[in-house]
Structure 1
Amino acid sequence: MKSVYRDSYQYLRPSIEDAITRFNQIGKSLHDGRNVVKVIDVEGESLNFKRFKKPNTINKIVYKFFRKSKAQRSFEYATVLKEKGIGTPDPVAYLEEESLFNFGTSFYISKQLNCDFTYRELINDDSIEDKEQILKEFTRFIYHMHEAGVYFLDNSPGNTLITKVDDHYEFALVDLNRMKFYNIPWDDRLKNFERLSPHKWMYEVMGLEYATLSRKRPEDTISQMWNYTQNFQDAFHRKKRLKKKLKSLINGKN
């Protein structure tokens, strides 16, 4: 198994690789779906292990010869984020199971970050206070990320962890394997908000803050953000309806 560690975590290598061999039997499960996420204590360190689903036949060849694995990209992108001062759990290592002509399971390991809530809870949980303040501070976080030339393709509600520290909030990105790094134009910046919420009032807060930071017209910024969001929501629900219809047709034939 190929393994790459950050220098500061090299001392954990034997214990991490032992944990990998016992992955199915140990740790606390956080998510068990296409990918599996667990928290495992390793030599007093609470680590987050993400095991990516074994790729299909074509992707086994793609990841072996032509493209970096999701685990490697997650590790490298997290390292870039840390260098740019953008919040994310500390990257520890990535490991890849491979043979001469094939690619198998891969793992991305980071420090476990225990947050107060995620952006998804910010949308749905009415008990959370300071929502407007949180949205303003989150918008500054995204603005800083854009200014640093980082475009987070999976900028969705479950992928931002939020923690209150004294009288302000800190943000950390997870699920990092899809990112781009470039000088981000205005339209792309606003489109990057499209998956975050179905509620217009949240875009009114974020759009005003982003416009202020960018010295742009607030009403135009809010309108453009909301248009991107509506288009995304329409496409999402169309796709959902189509899947439901196809499933119904398939079940009807069986």
Structure 2
Amino acid sequence: MNIFHPRTLVIHPGFKDLEEFILSIPERFDNNEGTVIHKGRNELRTMEYNGRKFVVKSFHAPNFINRFVYGIFRPSKAKRSYDHAEMLLKIGVGTPQPVGYMNIRSGGLFDRSYYVSCESTCPYIYQNLFEQKFEYEEEVLRAIGRTTAVLHEHGYAHKDYGRANILFQKVPDGIKLEIVDLNRMAIGPLDIKAGCKNFERLPATPQMHRWMAEEYAKARGFDAEKCFELMVAYRSTQPGKIDNRY
């Protein structure tokens, strides 16, 4: 470890052979290795190592004040992503298998962090429901209602529950769902209003809301019609809302 850029490395027990790979991630990013799948404040790339594919998320360097905050008072976004993934898997909610994370300090202050997971096998995201027709669309929406209910019953709410962060795939025994982008999670009790509000960033037609509301209400012991009304109402408050299909 470089004394001027100390690194904190955590690796899942099943992936201890990837230590060299994870330690080399900053240099791999600098050399533009892998395939970029998202680039904004944070950058997401797929990378291959020893015949296996992984998704690596590089979190942007925080501002000066947050370099103190993340270094002392708050866990890094990479650590939160890893911990939340472990948490979801324990309660039976799908998410790509977490592999590990690394924090890097510079000059005694927090600098950068990276989160590594296995690549998901799910070929579609929620947004695709608005771009093409799926014969099993109802199954997907009902699965989302049930899965969200499991999260909420355990007191977890995804704070960026949007169209790109729900992955799905049709499998022989139903629908496989995976939730991604887990660094921002609220933890605490969710009543019917807070629970239904958590759907507000998901575009939906009335029928789509109906399917999600029915399964969500059934799983949590709520009134389905009330859940439907709340989901529609909360969605209508979103700025620039356009829920056009295909």
TM-score normalised by L of structure 2: 0.89
Match of 2:29 among 6, 18, 23: 23
Structure 1, unpaired ranges of 5+: 239-254
Q: Of 43, 55, 60, which residue of structure 2 is paired with 1:36?
A: 43
CA distance in 2, matches of 1:113, 1:204: 28
Q: 2:110 aligns with which of 96, 103, 128?
A: 103
Counterpart Cα distance in 1 of 2:13 and 2:140: 35
Amino acid at match of 1:81: L
* Counterpart residue number, 1:230: 236
In the alignment, structure 2 segments of 5+ residues that lack a partner are: 1-6, 242-246
In structure 2, the residue matched to 1:72 is 79
Q: How far did 1:201 drift?
A: 2.5
Q: Which has the higher contact order (CA 8 A, sep 6+)?
A: 2
Q: Secondary structure at the match of 1:229?
A: helix
Larger proportion of helix:
1
Q: TM-score, normalised by structure 1?
A: 0.86
Cα pair distance change 1:186/1:158, threshold 3 Å: same
Q: Displacement, 1:191?
A: 1.0
CA contact (8 A) 1:15 1:43 kept: no
Moved more, 7-16 or 86-95: 7-16
Residues 145 and 214, structure 2, Cα contact 8 Å, conserved in 1:
no
**Matches of 1:9 and 1:213 in 2, distance apart?**
35
For the pair shown, the structure with the greater C-alpha radius of gyration is 1
Q: Deviations over 1:20-66 (max 9, x none)?
A: 32223211111122111111111222111100111111111111122
Tell me the SS of whatever aligns to 1:47: strand
2:214 and 2:176 map into 1 onto residues whose CA distance is 20
RMSD: 1.7
Give the drift of 1:140: 1.1
Any residues of structure 2 matched to 1:5-20 within 5 Å, and which? 5-20=11-26
One-letter amino acid of the counterpart of residue 208, structure 2:
M
Equivalents in 1 of 2:71, 2:149: separation in Å? 35
Q: Give the SS at the match of 2:101.
A: strand
Q: Which amino acid aligns with 1:220?
A: K
**Aligned with 1:135 (options 121, 135, 141):** 141
Rounded Cα–Cα distance in structure 2 between residues aligned with 1:108 and 1:142: 24
Deviations, residues 53-100 of structure 1 (Å, cap 9, x unaligned)? 111111111111221111111011111111111111111111111035
* Divergent runs of 4+, >4 A: none
Which residue of structure 2 lines up, in the alignment, with residue 62 of structure 1? 69
Q: How many residues align?
A: 234
Question: Who is 2:53 aligned against?
Answer: 46
Residue identity in the other structure for 1:178: R
The residue type paired with residue 240 of structure 2 is: H
1:83 to 2:90 alignment:
yes
Contact 2:97–2:117 (CA under 8 A) maintained in structure 1: yes
